[in-house]
Amino acid sequence: MPHYYSLGKVPHKRHTQFRKPDGTLYAEELVSTHGFSNVYSLIYHCHPPTMIKEVGDAFSVEPKVAERKSMIHRSFEGFNIQPADDFLESRKTVLMNNDLHIVLAAPRESFSDYFYKNADADEVIFVHEGEGVLKTIYGDLPFAYGDYLVIPRGTIYQIEFKNKQNRLLIVESFSAIEIPRRYRNEYGQLEEHAPFCERDFRKPQDLVTHDEKGDFKIMIRKEGMIYPYIYGSHPFDAIGWDGNHYPYAFSIHDFEPITGRVHMPPPIHQTFEGHNFVVCSFVPRMYDYHPLSIPVPYNHSNVDSDEVLYYVDGDFMSRKAVTRGMITLHPGGIPHGPHPGTVEKGIGQKETKELAVMIDTFKPLWMTEDGRSILNKDYHKSWM
């Protein structure tokens, strides 16, 4: 997130003496990205963030690839991913490549005895079902149905779920998640033509300083492994912080759709981007209003990108037999398009209630074993 923000207390000058009421120093930490060349924040801890007590045995959470090369239209029954009590155990990668992992999760329980840090990837957590609070050293982010939670890599977090029924779509991005450059002016401000503005992005709030020593377990993910670290101080011990590197929330319900007289292409739905992929939001909107318009999208050959659609809610006029939580994968190299009968049926309709998240990747995706376990048979023949 490019905008400067601050919570709690920070000293007048960075890198200067900043003392607690007892006269000892707060511990300053620079959290920087791309070396020292991209956004960063300065955090003032009650205790140094380096007090390692123990490192437990690392274990692998690397997804198992079931099929690396494929050019077949696929559909997956996302809600067939089984719920699990534990957040980390609930995360199932269904599609992946070297740029991102696409993960489904149905966690039942809040974090209770550990914290989590993904040191590999920025995470975009789309909340399909559930509500609660994302807790970090930067403050709290309350979330609900339809929120995207963007968590920069290296952010230690916990999630408090309000109840047990939670469904999450998670994009793990091995590059920084950014707001598309074309939406921002040279000063980083969102331009008038963007489908959202600064007010739509919710920043952390209610910074609580946990000035606590003890044993604090942080599960740190790095290169497909989880390293259980025991630290001697509470990870949320900041008295204050400032900078441009922090988690934030954006609701898909705040995405303002861009419409036209004739069919508008997918880039108008773009919400986020990472290296070699984009994330788009399809939201309820008025249909095209040319008198001869065809609201249902045309057949198209996305020659060099794989197109993933995650169906959230509403009706999907161009597809048949869509269920909530379903994922379709239309690989680059072959065309796809509306299902038979849907084009004529759509003519004259004024609006759509569809809600969906699209992830387009510029490199082919690989199906994992967890993905294969929720595969719908013969989807590729569904246009006949």
Task: Catalog residues that contact Fe ion under the rule CB under 5 A.
Answer: 307
Q: How far is the CB of 319 from Fe ion (least distance, A)?
A: 10
Residue 104 vs 358, nearer CB to Fe ion? 358
Residue 221 vs 339, nearer CB to Fe ion? 339
Q: How far is the CB of 253 from Fe ion (least distance, A)?
A: 23
Count the neighbouring beta carbons within 10 Å of the beta carbon of residue 284. Answer: 14
Residue 105 vs 280, nearer CB to Fe ion? 280
User: Beta strand pairing status for 59-60 and 326-330?
Assistant: unpaired
**Which phi and psi (to 5°) does residue 182 adopt?**
-70, -15
Q: How far is the CB of 170 from Fe ion (least distance, A)?
A: 22
Q: How far is the CB of 330 from Fe ion (least distance, A)?
A: 6
Residue 11 vs 337, nearer CB to Fe ion? 337
Q: Using the 8-state DSSP alphabet, how is residue 86 labeled?
A: S
Q: How far is the CB of 96 from Fe ion (least distance, A)?
A: 20
Structure tokens at 29: 């930490």
Residue 230 vs 264, nearer CB to Fe ion? 264
Residue 238 vs 308, nearer CB to Fe ion? 308
Q: How far is the CB of 318 from Fe ion (least distance, A)?
A: 8
Residue 214 vs 335, nearer CB to Fe ion? 335
Q: How far is the CB of 103 from Fe ion (least distance, A)?
A: 22
Q: Using the 8-state DSSP alphabet, how is residue 154 labeled?
A: T
Tell me what percent of the chain is helix, strand and coil, each rounded to the nearest 5: 10, 40, 50
Q: How far is the CB of 307 from Fe ion (least distance, A)?
A: 5
Structure tokens at 27: 């511990």
Structure tokens at 37: 């060349």
- Among residues 71, 67, 27, 82, the alpha carbon closest in space to that of 49 is found at 27
Burial class (CB in 10 A: 0-12, 13-18, 19+), 61: middle
Structure tokens at 366: 């690989």
Structure tokens at 214: 């003890």
Residue 273 vs 307, nearer CB to Fe ion? 307
Q: Residue with the closest Cβ to Fe ion?
A: 307
Q: How far is the CB of 155 from Fe ion (least distance, A)?
A: 33
d(CA 280, CA 272): 7
User: Beta strand pairing status for 277-282 and 355-361?
Assistant: antiparallel
d(CA 74, CA 308): 9
Residue 63 vs 338, nearer CB to Fe ion? 338
Q: How far is the CA of 278 from the CAs of 198, 350, 364, in angstroms? A: 20, 28, 14
177: Cα separation from own chain's centroid: 8
Cα–Cα–Cα angle for 162, 166, 172, nearest 5°?
Answer: 115
- Among residues 225, 36, 246, the alpha carbon closest in space to that of 122 is found at 246
